[in-house]
Amino acid sequence: MTALSRYAFKVDYYDSQANLTRQYLLLYFTEDATIEMHDLKIKRVFLKRCAYPSLSTQELFIGATVCIFARSLKLVDYGDEATRKHFSAALGEFILIITEEGFSAAGDIVDKIISKDLRITNIRLVELPGNMCSQFGISKRCIVILVKGSEASDKVVLLNEAFPNTTIVLSNPTDVSACSDVAFSPGKTTAVMKNCSVCVIKPHAITSGYQGAILQRLIDEGFHISALAMYTLTLADAEDFLEVYNGVVPEYKRLVEQMSSGPCWAIEVCAENAVTALRAVCGPHDPEVCHVLFPHTIRSKYGVDRSRNSVHCTDLEEDAPLESEFFFSLLQNL
């Protein structure tokens, strides 16, 4: 697709103080990564054009939530016909299912999807009902991935050829819709919520395409992946989840802003002494410390600073069940 000089999206912002949803037009200028916002109700400029380098075109798609100056904005529609045509051109959607036999290479499979410029718009580890397993010829326990992108029909063939015995691809719209309805709806979770730990791949790491490598690192370290799902936290959700750090770490506000700035992946892992083991693999909170003392940790490889340190991991053993419940019980059933 040929890039436009400007993309336009209609976005919704929920104003909790006024208890109403405000709608804006978000403009993104590709030449210099600047943004501008207009209030659609009063037809005035709300935010003058300014640089916002942390926002990338990969984050711009209908249904996405982006964080602009601590405001969570949901992209609900295209703002003009040119943007609509650009993002709709040759856009396809399919589901890739990783069977239980392929779990040991799940991160590598995710990495392959990302390398083909395809966007993962949802992912969840599920146990599908028996009739659906029989229909698609798959194991009950599997990872369901919803994928969108240009020229998807051609790329899906290559993906299936790369992992022929461990993946199933659904491209028929009826099958995609039926599987999505079952896999991504509220309901039973695979999370065990005991003797576990939680790793959350942060939005900046998702945007950078590190989620496959991080997931594979956890698998290679011997962790059993007992639950996995994508969530988009509101500012209030992030504040609730990170409340234990309020007043404890100086970057608390930035942690909240980062965690609510886009989709994140929550992963429940099980292992002997899971909390301690996961902390050792992730490394200290500060990537700079990791670079010097723990260069092989996840935060050393993929972290930027103390708030954008690639992953959150459970710090205290007693917090692990609570963090798992937060994602796989509370948020999953909203």
Going along the chain from its start, the domains and CATH numbers come out as: 6-87 (2.30.29.170), 91-183 (3.30.70.141), 196-333 (3.30.70.141)
Place of tokens 């990338």: 56
Q: How confident is the model at residue 151 (pLDDT cuts 50, 70, 90)?
A: confident
Look at residue 86 and tell me whether its pLDDT is greater than 90. no
Among 184, 193, 64, which Cα is nearest to 126's? 184
Distance in Å from the first CA to the final CA of the chain? 36
Place of tokens 């399919």: 94
Does residue 259 or residue 158 have the better pLDDT? 259
- The dihedrals phi and psi of 236, each to the nearest 5 degrees, come to -65, -40
Taking the C-alpha atoms of residue 137 and residue 131, their distance in angstroms, rounded to an integer, is: 10
Beta-strand ranges (E) seen in 151-271 are 167-170, 196-201, 224-232, 263-270
Q: What is the pLDDT of residues 5-19, one digit of tens each?
A: 899 999 999 887 888
pLDDT at 4: 73
Taking the C-alpha atoms of residue 243 and residue 117, their distance in angstroms, rounded to an integer, is: 36
Taking the C-alpha atoms of residue 140 and residue 110, their distance in angstroms, rounded to an integer, is: 20
On whether the CB atoms of residues 145 and 97 are closer than 8 A, the answer is yes
Q: What is the pLDDT of residues 271-330, one digit of tens each?
A: 999 999 999 999 999 999 999 999 999 999 999 999 999 999 999 999 999 999 999 999
| Angle at alpha carbon of residue 179, lines to 142 and 205, rounded to 5° | 60
Among 155, 147, 157, which Cα is nearest to 120's? 147
Taking the C-alpha atoms of residue 188 and residue 185, their distance in angstroms, rounded to an integer, is: 9
Q: What is the pLDDT of residues 3-57, one digit of tens each?
A: 678 999 999 998 878 888 999 999 999 999 999 999 999 999 999 999 998 888 8
C-alpha 24 chain-centroid distance: 24
Taking the C-alpha atoms of residue 113 and residue 118, their distance in angstroms, rounded to an integer, is: 6
Among 167, 50, 182, which Cα is nearest to 109's? 167
Taking the C-alpha atoms of residue 86 and residue 269, their distance in angstroms, rounded to an integer, is: 40
Taking the C-alpha atoms of residue 238 and residue 73, their distance in angstroms, rounded to an integer, is: 15
| Residue 145: strand pairing partners | 96, 123
Look at residue 90 and tell me whether its pLDDT is greater than 60. no
Exposure of 123 by Cβ count < 10 A (0-12 exposed, 13-18 middle, 19+ buried)? buried
Catalytic positions are 312
Report residue 314 as tokens.
Answer: 């459970």
